[in-house]
């Protein structure tokens, strides 16, 4: 599984993609609940970019498109922490 997460080139099957997304959701919910959503966003970055970027290659789309949703989530999480304070 480590090679699937840390490898950023090529393509992946649909089943592998959804397994990585499930793992990402579980990690982000757990860390967001225990620590903070800001830290959860930082930990989810490599998994998201790896999975989404390689899946986007199947549609001949650049992997940089996968950074847009993460960037928005990161910014919204940061703003939430600024408004309600860091724990």
Burial 68-77 (b: 16+ CB within 10 A, else e): eeeeebbeeb
Confidence of residue 6 (pLDDT cuts 50, 70, 90): low
Confidence label for 80 from pLDDT (cuts 50, 70 and 90): confident
Confidence (pTM): 0.60
Return the minimum-mean-pLDDT range out of 5-19, 21-35, 45-59: 5-19
Q: At what angle do helices 14-34 and 37-56 cross, to 10 degrees?
A: 170
Could you report the per-residue pLDDT of 32-75, keeping only the tens digit for each? 889 888 788 788 877 777 788 888 887 888 877 877 877 787 78
Q: What is the pLDDT of residue 68?
A: 81
Q: How many CB atoms lie within 10 A of CB 23?
A: 16
Using alpha carbons, select from 26, 21, 29, 27 the residue that is nearest to residue 4.
Answer: 21
């Amino acid at each position: 599984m480590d090679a699937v997460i840390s490898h950023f080139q090529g393509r992946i099957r649909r089943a592998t993609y959804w397994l990585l997304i499930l793992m990402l959701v579980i990690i982000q919910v757990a860390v967001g609940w225990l620590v903070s959503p800001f830290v959860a966003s930082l930990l989810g970055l490599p998994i998201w970019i790896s999975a989404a970027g390689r899946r986007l290659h199947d549609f001949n789309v650049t992997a940089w498109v996968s950074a847009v949703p993460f960037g928005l989530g990161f910014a919204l999480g940061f703003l939430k922490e600024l408004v309600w304070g860091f724990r």
